[in-house]
Structure 1
């Protein structure tokens, strides 16, 4: 069964580039396949810059939503 990966990125173009590189690396070394759907992902990654407080707040909010999502899908 193929493992699924979802990455949510906030910030500059460098963050987008970094997320793309992470997805490529995890795909080539561990067989992860990218998905747009966080619900079906086995691995969820958040990539942001902590220099901007707003982006940091978004990350913590998303972590809370993803935690509930994963708890729901485990049962």
Structure 2
């Protein structure tokens, strides 16, 4: 079986960077391998700060990409 991959993108404050490091460790501890492009990933993870409006606005653009990828591959998570 091929090892699953994940894409992790962080938006917002410095705390989110720390949280994303913890997420990376958890995902890799479960055997997932990180990739640099969302198109290469089985799992898409977006970590954002809802306190900062600019982070939410940037996330909205990425969710459009995620929706397109999900339609192309319904097994993507």
Task: Give 4+ residue runs of structure 1 displaced > 6 Å after superposition.
Answer: none
Partner of 2:51: helix, strand, or coil?
coil
Q: How many Å separate the matches in 2 of 1:58 and 1:11? A: 9
In structure 1, the residue matched to 2:25 is: 24
Does structure 1 residue 39 correspond to structure 2 residue 35? no
TM-score for the superposition, normalised by structure 2: 0.83
Structure 1 unpaired stretches of 5+:
none
